[in-house]
Amino acid sequence: MDYIKVEGGRALTGSVRVYGAKNSVLPILAASVLTSGVSVIENCPRLKDIDAMLAILRALGCEVTAEERTITVDSSGPIAAEISAEQMSALRASIAFLGALLARNGRAELFVPGGCELGSRPIDIHLWALMRLGAKIRQQDGRLHATVSRGNGCELVLPIPSVGATENIMLFATACGGETVIVNAAREPEIVDLQTYLNAAGFSVSGAGSPVIRIVGGRKTQPTQVVHRVIPDRIAAATWMCATASAGGEVMVTGVEPEPLALLGELLAEMGCGVQFVADAVTIRRVGSLQAPRATVRTGPYPGFPTDMQPLLMVPAVLAHGQTVFEENMFDSRYRHVPELNRMGAEIMVSGKYALCGGIERLRGASVCAADLRGGAALVCAALCAEGESTIRNIEYIDRGYESIEDSLRLLGADVRRVRG
Ligand code: EPZ
């Protein structure tokens, strides 16, 4: 298996470009089966999770091409209603096909999805909501049999603002009669991007970005072709910001949207980094020592601090003077990078949903294993500032969300390479 080798201790300099958000592209690809037409999706990163989604689209009968960073999906032909267990288990976002295929075909035969192990990741809210809208769903040994004869819009009050459930409802509701109102909807920028795509495709969705989303179903103007440019990947941008805060140096991250990075920018500035947003770029500079942020870093649904940034921010926090307290409120197993960071000398203490860290002079190189995507990226960031050599294994997790992380970091001056093996 391939692994990443890092010789730590080099500051980062230069600029790095961010492409479209993985977590926007994935539901938009599922949505492309709704259009019965051609979708041209621009600014797509080249990632393993996206390849897995394209494989599903091809198996369903779509014509798919991917050139550079533009993906074209033609769903005008007949679309199958079945997805294999293997394809469903490749990634969590495959569950978006439940709503999409029900809307397109009135039937979906799939399996519970896979994805990064961040603790229990049920789909009960997805199923409850689609059933409230009129779908009949039977679950048996991991299989999902779903049918609908006539879906009817209604008000759905979500118990938690689940990103995936909000997306699934938006997709299915496009085919339901009347209006569907999602109350306590997820407000992430990727939800707004899905709304933008759906409206460009002729559907009627409003309110995304606020807690109440309205979908008027059963009505569609028929554009022959939808062209959509995906929003920038805020988590990829956060990765380069936290890598610079950890390793030191000065890096300009381009192609970003400032708003979703504002909270991280404020925290890094409080910790002693120079952070400057200009138009669609952010420059981050760290020369001196770091200070722990005063307040607990609490993860939460957008606009709260993103759980996906928690492992990344933990690396500079380990090196800061004083103690940083993290409170993980989104997933029950999202500290799987901690034992690995501790092998590098981080001395992080975890108790339930809290993690306490800080005050470490320097990390030391070690052989560590990624257990999920963002935790894996955090290990690479840690290796950049560790003394000596580190190896990071299980990098297939990292490849789910980064276009060759080692190439981007090498361009910034880091000594990082992928070893094929
Ligand atoms: C999305 O996952 C992202 N994935 C995750 O990014 C991200 O961490 C997460 O949102 C939170 O921001 C994609 O967009 C593909 P949720 P999702 O439904 O949709 C519970 C990455 O690395 N829940 O908002 O799965 C759930 O267990 C990934 O790119 C239920 O209880 O997140 C969790 O505790 C990792 N029942 C909480 O809600 C349900 O039916 C939030 O999950 C659904 C969710």
- Yes or no: say if 164 and 121 are a contact pair by the CB < 8 Å rule: no
Burial of 207 from C-beta contacts in 10 A (0-12 / 13-18 / 19+): middle
Where on the phi/psi map is residue 30: left (φ > 0), alpha (ψ -120 to 50), or beta? alpha
Closest CA to 7 of 373, 392, 317, 397: 392
How many helices and strands in the chain, by DSSP H and E?
Answer: 14, 23
Mean pLDDT, rounded, for 359-373: 96
Nearest Cα to Cα of residue 303 among 228, 192, 206, 156: 192
Q: Compute the distance from residue 396 Cα to the ligand 1 centre, in Å.
A: 20
Residue 168 in contact with ligand 1 by CB distance below 6 A = no
CA angle 337, 338, 342 (to 5 degrees): 120
Residue 385: active-site member: no
pLDDT number for residue 224: 72
User: Quick one: pLDDT at residue 236?
Assistant: 98
Give the rounded percent of residues in the chain with a pLDDT score beyond 70: 98
Side-chain-facing half-sphere of 55: CA atoms under 13 Å: 15
Which ligand 1 atom is nearest residue 116's CA? 35
Q: Which amino acid is at 271?
A: M
Q: Which residue has the higher pLDDT, 121 or 22?
A: 22
pLDDT (0 to 100) of residue 109: 97
Residue of 98, 121, 233, 334 best suited for mutating to test ligand 1, as the one with most atoms within 8 Å of CB: 121
Amino acid at 407: D
Q: Give tens-digit pLDDT for 211-269.
A: 999 999 986 667 679 999 999 999 999 999 999 999 999 999 999 999 999 999 999 99
Best probe residue, ligand 1, of 98, 156, 163, 329 (max atoms within 8 Å of C-beta): 163
* Residue indicated by tokens 């229990």: 120
Q: What is the DSSP string of 143-181?
A: EEEEE-S--B--EEE-SS--HHHHHHHHHHHTTSBSEEE
Q: What is the pLDDT of residue 235?
A: 98
Q: Is there a contact between 175 and 217 (Cβ–Cβ < 8 Å)?
A: yes
pLDDT at residue 38 in the model: 96
Segment 54-63, tens digit of pLDDT? 999 999 999 9
332 neighbors 288 (Cβ within 8 angstroms): no
The pTM for the full model equals: 0.97
